[in-house]
Amino acid sequence: MAAASVELPVVDLSPFFTGDKGAMACATEAMREACETRGFFRVVNHGVPAELMGRALELSAAFFALPDEEKAKVRPAEADGCKAPLPTGYGQQAAHTADKNEHLAIFDPKLGFNAYPAQPAGFRETVDECFAKLTNLGLLIQEILNECMGLPPGFLKSYNNDRNFDFMAALRYFPATEEENIGFTEHEDGTCFTFIFEDLVGGLEVLEDGHWVPMKPVDDDGIIVNIGDVIKVVLSNNKMKSPTHRVVRKPVHRHSFAFFFSVHVDKWIEPLPEFTTKIGEAPHYMKFLYGEYQQLRMRNKTHPPARREDSVRVTRYAI
């Protein structure tokens, strides 16, 4: 019997735009609880226009509906010295992994090496605007998380002040077949946190107490926030959750956008003193270089490690 779908916790961000201090404190507490209990929540009144997200999803669907030979023209662009976690441009995972989806990866437009499709009209302008809006939202979420964790004011901003390694992907998942229905295999995100906005098809599932729990599609113009391994490991020493999740395909195509708020590849990652020495708790992870971690995750897609958990979680660095 299939598990009943559940709604994600909701965090209303409107107080951070109006300046209501009391409401800001309540929203911060709601985010802290969501991070510690589930690691997934959705934000509303977040400053990203619903019309913009809807237009992006429509244009994305139009692009993915093009013939394969047209989509293949949007090949990954070469960028000198770029150590990004994904190549820019179009890619299809169905050919070489267990995942069955296709994507178009986009980095900060100011970097100048994105690959954009010629059609549909308006695609580039729309996704670039989405990128800018989601970057601003990421900076706000980062500041709220800074408060949630009791870190010194501005700590995360100074620790993670390089936005050149954030990226966004437009995604289309293929319809399920009678043989299998996995669109994205189980994993934890290897970034600080991820934003997702999606159509109403559904398919996102979170592993809780050994069971896969379907998440109800967000139908209120909200944006899903997913805490990643960098927050789990670096900042909280496992105090916050980085949920294992997957995407199960449905009988029809599913469209979504994912925005990954990341850190610089040259940043060293380790549990912070606020969650170890200052409270008398041993670190659960050893220190590692973020760029090496990302390279390992990419290699695991084509060369799976002996232990399955090492490919989906940050267990390689566990103490």
Mean pLDDT (whole number) for 199-228: 92
Bigger pLDDT: 252 or 99? 252
CB crowding 252-279: b at 16 or more within 10 Å, else e:
ebbbbbbbbbbbebebebebbebbbeee
Structure token digits, residue 303:
């060369």
Bigger pLDDT: 276 or 217? 276
Question: Distance between CA 172 and CA 254 in Å, rounded?
Answer: 6
Q: How far, in whole angstroms, is CA 105 from its chain's centroid?
A: 13
Q: Give the pLDDT score at 178.
A: 85
Domains of the chain, CATH where assigned: 10-317 (2.60.120.330)
Residue 26 has pLDDT above 80, yes or no: yes
Percent of the chain with pLDDT over 90: 66
Q: Name 221's Cβ contacts closer than 8 Å, sequence gap at least 6.
A: 44, 50, 53
Task: Write down the mean pLDDT value for the chain.
Answer: 89
Q: What is the pLDDT of residues 72-128, one digit of tens each?
A: 888 765 544 454 456 678 988 755 566 788 999 998 888 888 889 999 999 999 999
Q: What is the pLDDT of residues 125-183, one digit of tens each?
A: 999 999 999 999 999 999 999 999 999 999 999 999 999 889 999 999 999 988 888 88
Mean pLDDT (whole number) for 18-33: 97
Nearest C-alpha neighbor of 50 from the set 253, 198, 260, 235:
198
Q: Give the pLDDT score at 80.
A: 46
284, amino acid identity: H
Q: Give the pLDDT score at 98.
A: 65
Q: Give the pLDDT score at 143.
A: 97
Bigger pLDDT: 83 or 263? 263
Percent of the chain with pLDDT over 70: 89
Question: Distance between CA 298 and CA 295 in Å, rounded?
Answer: 5
Band of pLDDT at residue 38, cut at 50, 70 and 90: very high
Q: How far, in whole angstroms, is CA 63 from its chain's centroid?
A: 22
Q: Give the pLDDT score at 79.
A: 47
36-39 contacts at long range (C-beta below 8 A, 24 or more positions apart): 36/239, 36/240, 36/241, 37/9, 37/241, 38/8, 38/9, 38/206, 38/208, 38/241, 38/243, 39/226, 39/227, 39/232, 39/240, 39/241, 39/242, 39/243
SS3 state of residue 183? strand
pTM over 0.85: yes
Band of pLDDT at residue 314, cut at 50, 70 and 90: confident
Is the bond preceding residue 120 a cis peptide, omega within 30 degrees? yes
Q: Give the pLDDT score at 117.
A: 92
